[in-house]
């Protein structure tokens, strides 16, 4: 067969067929917690679409990605649209396609946390109702469990409790939810209920001594017993014990100290703790005293009551 030359003026062009991509689906998590990474994959008509293919992603929060598979971490809760844009070199034909999926971003779980805990009144008296208060944060529902340090328990946000015995108690609150738990304590001091005299007494009996003696007489012990009874039941009181000597007595400084120590010893023997007694020897009495007892008023020991706040 003879070759024929091409006909002058006839143009022949060859154009290969191209197939644009189609996004069949966008697959990935539709619910994710803020702060967690979410991964998405674009499924396309791989067998038909002309290569090469380009993948671009928009995650709806300003984040972007590339590749058939891409990941994003959402910082804030909300609803976002994840869009995959796929394109190829399909010439003048439509060479791109897109697909999307909606993702709900939720806040991460918030474990239970105690913001504050308190007790009022504190200190309290025995038999007095104590109001406990608390403030807690975290995902609801929150469970609150109280233990009051005396074997009693309760539930709820702001329970009340009555301590029947004086002492120091550690009340504990435990708050929990599905995400975690927290506990805190508050120390409650419970005082013994004091007789009225403990808040009103301003003067105690003085004790008188024989000349040049620091030995307690029966009369002195009788008056001191009344003092000891008050001091032993009034835990809010301390006693300042001051000894004196009369003019002309031997060694007035030492004698006044010995007399004060004799009185302190009597108090201790009758249930008054030593740490609640202070002694001092004042030496020889100067001037005129207002104490009753005639001339023997110079040979005495005064017991001066003081309350915890320093009041007389």
Give the chain's domains with CATH numbers.
23-106 (2.60.40.10), 113-191 (2.60.40.10), 197-307 (3.30.1330.60)
| Per-residue pLDDT reduced to its tens digit, 120-139 | 999 999 999 999 999 999 99
- pTM of the full predicted structure? 0.55
Of the candidate ranges 79-93, 124-138, 215-229, 294-308, the one whose mean pLDDT is the lowest:
79-93
Of the candidate ranges 14-28, 170-184, 296-310, the one whose mean pLDDT is the lowest:
14-28
Percent of the chain at pLDDT exceeding 90:
79
What span, in angstroms and rounded, lies between the C-alpha atoms of 192 and 235? 8
Of the candidate ranges 178-182, 205-209, 269-273, 295-299, the one whose mean pLDDT is the lowest:
295-299
> What is the Cβ-side half-sphere exposure of residue 95, based on CA atoms within 13 angstroms?
15
| 13 pLDDT tier (thresholds 50, 70, 90) | very low
- Centre a 10 Å sphere on the Cβ of residue 157 and count the other Cβ atoms it contains: 14
Task: Record the tokens describing residue 288, joined without a space.
Answer: 């005129």
User: In the chain, what is the greatest distance between 2 CA atoms, to the nearest angstrom?
Assistant: 166
**Mean pLDDT across the chain, nearest whole number?**
90
| Per-residue pLDDT reduced to its tens digit, 32-88 | 999 999 999 999 998 888 888 999 999 999 999 999 999 999 999 999 999 999 998
Residue 228 main-chain phi, psi, to 5 deg: -60, -40
Does the pLDDT of residue 15 top 50, yes or no?
Answer: no
Contacts of 218 (CB under 8 A, 6+ apart): none
Contacts of 41 (CB under 8 A, 6+ apart): 26, 27, 28, 68, 69
Looking at residue 99, its pLDDT comes to 94
């Amino acid at each position: 067969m003879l070759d024929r030359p091409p006909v002058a003026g006839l143009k022949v062009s060859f154009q290969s067929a191209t197939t644009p991509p189609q996004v069949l689906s966008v697959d990935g998590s539709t619910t994710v917690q803020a702060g967690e990474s979410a991964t998405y994959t674009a499924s396309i008509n791989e067998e038909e679409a002309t290569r090469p293919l380009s993948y671009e992603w928009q995650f709806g929060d300003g984040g972007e990605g590339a590749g058939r598979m891409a990941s994003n971490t959402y910082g804030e809760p909300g609803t976002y649209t994840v869009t995959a844009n796929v394109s190829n070199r399909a010439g003048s034909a439509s060479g791109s396609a897109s697909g999307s999926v909606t993702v709900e971003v939720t806040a991460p779980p918030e474990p239970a946390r105690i913001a504050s805990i308190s007790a009022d009144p504190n200190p309290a008296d025995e038999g007095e109702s104590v109001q406990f208060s608390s403030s807690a944060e975290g995902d609801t529902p929150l469970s609150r469990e109280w233990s009051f340090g005396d074997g009693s328990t309760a539930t709820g946000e702001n329970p009340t409790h009555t301590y029947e015995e004086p002492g120091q108690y550690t009340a504990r609150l435990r708050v929990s939810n599905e995400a975690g738990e927290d506990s805190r304590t508050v120390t409650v001091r419970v005082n013994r209920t004091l007789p009225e005299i403990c808040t009103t007494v301003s003067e105690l009996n003085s004790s008188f001594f024989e000349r040049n003696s620091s030995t307690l007489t029966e009369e002195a012990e009788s008056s001191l017993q009344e003092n000891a009874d008050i001091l032993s039941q009034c835990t809010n009181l301390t006693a300042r014990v001051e000894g004196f000597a009369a003019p002309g007595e031997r060694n007035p400084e030492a004698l006044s100290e010995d007399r004060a120590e004799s009185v302190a010893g009597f108090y201790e023997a009758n249930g008054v703790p030593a740490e609640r007694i202070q002694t001092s020897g004042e030496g020889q009495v100067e001037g005129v005293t207002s104490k009753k007892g005639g001339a023997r008023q110079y040979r005495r020991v005064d017991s001066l009551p003081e309350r915890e706040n320093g009041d007389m």
